[in-house]
Amino acid sequence: MKKITWLLAAIITVCAANAQDSTARKLDEMVTAYTKLGRFNGSVLVARKGVILLQKGYGVRNDSTHTNNDENTQYQIASVTKQFTATVVLKLVEQKKMHLDDKLSKYYPGFPYGDSITIWNLLTHTSGMRNFTEEDTGIQKTDEEHMVPYLKTLKPDFAPGKDWHYSNSGYVMLAYIIQKVSGISYFQAVRKYIFNPLHMSSSGFDFTHLTGAEKAVGYDVLNDSVHERAHIADSSVTLGAGSIYSTVEDMYKWHRGLQKYKIVNKSLMEEAYIPCPQHNYGFGWQIDSVFGRKMVSHSGAISGFGSNFARIPADDVCIVVLSNKGGSTFDAMHITDKLLAVLYNQPYTIPVKRTPVQVSEAVLKRYTGTYEVSEMHLVIDVSINDGRLIAQPARDGHPGPTAILVGENDRRFYIEADEEAETEFDVDDAGKVKGLTIYQNGITKYAVKTK
């Protein structure tokens, strides 16, 4: 009996190892496909239950030195920084040095609604504080002495708690509050409370002056013929909103630290994963579900870099996608979705090269008008601009980003910025356009043409 038991255990171990190897190959195959299409350039890490299934670099790290990305490449992670800022705030709350219901005016008097804006509002983007990165006129000097008065001049978007709007201003103010409460700089506080305890030795802030072979060059344009370098964002401007650089390995250390609640106790840390009533956003985390499991994640976009960091805490799943190519954030998010499908044995497709066709303007004009998905309160206005079909979605009256539709044939189009999102116009035998079918992320929706 003992021999049979031993043999059975050995067979199970071999089968598990084979399944793990198969999953790893599929993960690599997916990222490689995006890389070959020019839609990804960076590093990826995928881990499940303490086992790293993929940890690899793809594409160019530095064209001047002819080096390629690997697992040690350092990237700016942009707005993924916000979860670090939020966790330091929670650490100071745990130490009873501040409270989530503290008012902004306690630390910085003079802000519009400052007596009503709480730390909780700043963390969840419900403060109404205007996002300074959306302003046409910037600020020349970005130290605290000049930045705080500038932020006070911005007209609020709404009264605190009445709505949700993403605000880098709120997270810059959280960094300044951290400095006041802790008595050290924001950068020192993140190192003290997170980087040092978790041994994140390849992470830091001042990417501009970072030296070393592992530093990635950020590119605005990167293809076979053009290597256009991006301007590096100043960490003193982005501060608590987007100043951190890191590696996929260090980000995995961050995940492991969060899984084991090494920084903040479990009951308090779990509050970060509760979405606010106005939006699916917690404390520096986007809250969602995937395949019936709760997912916490955040993406980042900054000059020359894009990123996405996703975790499914209940299954100890971690996916890190870091890129040194500008405008890559949406692709990083799509790659994450595909890698999750591989991990959870769900249907997925590997992206292939699209071949656009020229559609006559006479045909395009037939498609212009308004389309509606009533159950989603989604309205899509389709128009022509410079000979190209443009889709402008709006939900509940709030407009979303415009999309350029590229033809595959006279009826089927894909979105230029997201080649895996497709649309197909429904035309009857008489040539009348009845509606528009949308295919995106495995979901199909039909929009009726209303005018």
pLDDT tens per residue across span 328-337:
898 999 999 9
d(CA 254, CA 188): 17
The confidence band for 20, taking pLDDT boundaries of 50, 70 and 90, is low
Helix%, strand%, coil% for the chain, nearest 5: 35, 30, 35
What is residue 441's predicted lDDT score, i.e. its pLDDT? 67
* Burial (0-12, 13-18, 19+ Cβ within 10 Å), 268: middle
| Gyration radius (Cα) of the chain, Å | 24
Average pLDDT, the chain: 92
Q: Look at residue 9 in the predicted model and tell me its pLDDT.
A: 56
pLDDT of residue 137: 67
Contact 102, 89 (CB under 8 A): no
Determine which helix (DSSP H) or strand (DSSP E) holds 45, and give its type and residue range: strand 42-48
* pLDDT for position 8: 56
In this prediction, residue 5 carries a pLDDT of 66
Q: Which residues pair with 56 in a beta bridge?
A: 44
Res 13 pLDDT > 60: no
Which tops the pLDDT comparison, 283 or 431?
283
Determine the Cα–Cα distance for residues 122 and 151; give it in Å rounded to an integer: 14
- Residues of the chain with pLDDT > 90, as a percent, come to 78
pLDDT of 44 over the 70 cut = yes
Q: What is the pLDDT of residue 248?
A: 98
If pLDDT is split at 50, 70 and 90, which confidence band does 19 have?
Answer: low
Question: Are residues 166 and 60 in contact, defined by beta-carbon separation less than 8 angstroms?
Answer: no
Q: Mean pLDDT across the stretch 181-203? A: 98
From the list 428, 407, 427, the residue with the least C-alpha distance to 436 is 427
Q: How many CB atoms lie within 10 A of CB 157?
A: 16
d(C-alpha 14, C-alpha 47), whole Å: 19
What does the pLDDT average to over 101-108?
98
Give me the pLDDT at residue 431, please. Answer: 87
